[in-house]
Chains A and B, each alone.
Chain A
Amino acid sequence: MTVLDHDDLLNLIACPHCDALHRVQRPSNGEQAVCRRCHAVLIAPRRRAGMTIIMLSVSVMILVLGALWFPFLTISRSGFHNDASLLDAAFAFSSGPLLPLSLAVLALIVVVPLARVMLIVYVLLPVVFDRAPFPGAREAFRLSEALQPWSMAEVFALGCAVALVKIADLALIGFGPAFWMFAGLVVIIVVQDNFMCRWSIWSSLEPEDEPKFKPTSMTDPEIMNLPSPEAKA
């Protein structure tokens, strides 16, 4: 059996879900390459994806920071009025033993979403201008990927809606400006995820001394016959 050299390995991609090995075949922009076995999306490049993701990330930053100061719900009952901002909600548990929960809520709805988009901008900014990645870019992207499931701004937005209905007969409730900011956030995060092609980003972060992905001849006969991922429009 021939030993695979470095360039050959660059031409391969293993599905992270089922380990099936494929030959990299970059689909055209807007198309997806999916795993032949489990149909997970492996590569999904989009036109001007880097710039779009950066702009969406900046909007997420503005919306989260803005939403901190404005109330998201207002309430009135029997002459008493109140409104709640994100910080109020995060520190709802700050009395006594529930304090750790306050910190967790603050992390899930403010700190993690903000950190994540800041890391993404740090990673992508040099890439879209065809410069070498900033130092630590690969660690930054790895951290941003690890944070993804813990970024819960959009769950919080739905929570606002549920809370509103839940106490609708207890008092008069209205949406504040921050609620609409969070509603916008839900849409932006979905769109941003759609533009994010992990494979493309990781390939652009390939260390300098490593060759970038380029189609080369394969030497191992078995690897040579590997299927490419299926293309889907």
Chain B
Amino acid sequence: MSGDRHLSALTARDAGLVACRRCTRVWPGHETECGRCGASLASRDDRSLSRVWAWWVVGLICYVPANLYPMLSTRTLLSTSEATIVGGAIELIHHGSIGIAIVILVASVLIPMAKFACIAFLALTVERRTALSATSRQHLYELVEYVGRWSMIDVFVVAILSSLVQLNVAATINPGPASLAFALSVIFTMLSAQAFDSRLIWDGIEEADRPDDLAISAAGRDMAH
């Protein structure tokens, strides 16, 4: 990753300090609790990756029934239909609402799948070298964190429709079991992304590209502490 060379920097850990990720204050390396905001301090969160994977797996497990069971059941005078996420989108396309079908497919299928893939990629590349620069991986992580909550939109749509469309015999819409599975999947994926310690992305380039003299002085400092 020679492209990242100019990005190596003196980190709080190199300086024998520990940074608070909540309030950005720095403390001597041995401190375990931030004196300003009370957050617990860890120079690097050793268990970060195992928590990422744990939430990731639970999220993925919940995502399966979210797709197999119906999200909604719609009953009108003429018919009763139950629709899964993908089924509902296909139905919308048949009705000509292609735009809204795309919104649903992007929010409930594309984004969740991409999120699982991105988190796995970020967690795997912490320990391995990769062609993607640290800057791009940091951007990817921020994107995953930002997008996470918007996946909840489908659950809210189900809630809105089920409370609104209660028109006696004319039409009723009721929520299906997939809505719970989908909500859980979104929540677990968000927890998985939050558990990731993004400083690990940058440690890779430190170790790979640190000039030798800096590495020696950092090692000397570690011994001094």
Contact = CB atoms under 8 A, between A and B. Distances in A.
Interface of A: 1, 4, 9-10, 12-21, 36-40, 42, 72-73, 75, 77-84, 88-93, 97-98, 100-101, 104-105, 108-109, 138-139, 141-142, 145, 149-150, 152, 155-156, 158-160, 162-163, 165-171, 198-199, 202, 205-207, 210, 222-223, 226
B35 A210 contact: yes
B213 to A, nearest CB: 12
Contact of B148 (A14, A149, A156, A205): A149
A206 B138 contact: no
Given A9-B26, A16-B19, A17-B198, A90 B159 contact: yes
Given A16-B19, A104-B183, A89 B167 contact: no
B180 A98 contact: yes
Contact of B138 (A38, A90, A166): A38
Contact of A162 (B145, B153, B165, B190): B153
B133 to A, nearest CB: 11
Contacts of A226: 10
Interface of B: 7, 9-15, 17, 19-28, 35-39, 74, 76-77, 92, 95, 97, 99-100, 103-104, 134-135, 138, 145, 148-150, 152-153, 155-168, 170-171, 173, 175, 177, 179-180, 183, 187, 190, 194, 198-199, 201-203, 221, 224
Contacts of B180: 93, 97-98, 100-101
9 contacts: A14-B17, A18-B138, A18-B198, A89-B160, A108-B152, A142-B39, A149-B149, A171-B167, A205-B36
A39 B19 CA distance: 17
A37 B138 CA distance: 11
A108 B201 CA distance: 31
Nearest to B137: A38
A158 B147 CA distance: 14
B144 to A, nearest CB: 12
Given A20-B11, A202-B23, A210-B35, A152 B162 contact: no
Contacts of B156: 89, 105, 109, 152, 155-156, 159-160, 163
B136 to A, nearest CB: 11
A75 B165 CA distance: 7
B202 A19 contact: yes
Contact of A222 (B15, B159, B179): B15
A165 B97 contact: yes
Contacts of B190: 149
B150 A77 contact: no
A36 B157 CA distance: 42
Among B164, B165, B175, B203, find the residue whose CB has the most chain A CB atoms closer than 10 A.
Answer: B164
A19 B24 CA distance: 9
Given A98-B180, A166-B97, A19 B199 contact: yes
A84 B163 contact: yes
Contact of B26 (A21, A42, A155, A167): A21
A231 B166 CA distance: 56
A158 B36 CA distance: 37
B26 A12 contact: yes
A222 B11 CA distance: 12
10 A-B pairs with least C-beta separation:
A14-B19, A159-B156, A92-B162, A88-B163, A80-B167, A202-B23, A14-B12, A19-B11, A84-B164, A18-B202
A35 B25 CA distance: 14
Contacts of B173: 167
B37 A155 contact: no
A100 B27 CA distance: 41
A198 B159 contact: no
A222 B161 CA distance: 61
A98 B177 contact: yes
Contact of B152 (A98, A155, A171, A202): A155
B151 to A, nearest CB: 9
